[in-house]
Amino acid sequence: MSKKFWLTLCSGVLALQAGLAIAQSAVSVPPPAASTPESIVRQTIMRLVPKAKIDQVTPAPMPGFYQVITSGHLVYVSADGKYVMNGDLIDGVKGTSLTDDAWATYRKAELAKVPVSERIVFAPPHPKYTVTVFTDVTCPYCRVLHSQIAAINKEGIAVQYLAWPRSGVTGEDGKPTSTYNEMVSIWCASDRNDAFTQAKKGRDPKPTTCNNPVKDQFDLGLKLGVTGTPAVYAEDGTQIGGYLAPEQMLEAVKEHSGAGG
């Protein structure tokens, strides 16, 4: 294996170690038989990255390959395990990204598992659209987005926030990060929406703890490929932003909603 190939593999595909120990919530399924193509594909990934956490293996749209989602990355592996490809798979007829479609389908299914009760929701009385936003209370663009929440709601869009502290759950010292603690306090507040809004204005919430979903939501973000905040997802699982102004968000959600536009 050439040095160039290995560097490409490690940096583009299997820079998986950073998110490995974090996606622990996948449903347990019986392992495939040792001689099946799926088993060979799994063995290929594990041979290249022994600590990889494989979340999904399914047949790829192109014959002879499998699509593998592993710790926030999507790669293609040949059924015989000889080839691993990292990149965008394009439908040559339609000109659309099959990789984006695969991610959207996977993300939609995973996000649907998060109860609304574990999200912080800002919604108009009768929303036409819903977006899910992984957010950090300290990131500048997250604060700008939330400062426009009334305008976003006025466009008929409900915003459902999930916690994603950018500094992680624990620091190098093994202790919870300050941002993680702050977000736990928000999710544990008696009025989460108010505590969230005040934190977006730079006001620290009253320190408190409870049984909360912050770590699980952070882990989910890593599993879905979140690398920064805000990360905005439409109802079909497509990531439409980054920060989006209210009118930009409306156009994006129309494009990716069954409600149409």
Tell me the pLDDT band of 30, cut-offs 50, 70 and 90. Answer: low
DSSP 119: S
> What is the pTM assigned to this prediction?
0.83
Catalytic residues: 136, 139, 142, 166
pLDDT digits (tens, 9 = 90+) for 76-131: 999 999 999 999 999 999 999 999 999 999 999 999 999 999 999 999 999 999 99
Q: Select from 15, 53, 5, 9 the least CA-distant residue to 220.
A: 53
Establish whether the linkage from the previous residue to 50 is cis, with ω within 30° of 0: no
Beta-carbon contacts of residue 147 (< 8 Å; ≥ 6 apart): 200
Q: In the prediction, which pLDDT does 33 show? A: 60
Domains identified in the chain and CATH numbers: 3-99 (3.10.450.70), 116-255 (3.40.30.10)
The single-letter code of the amino acid at 90 is I
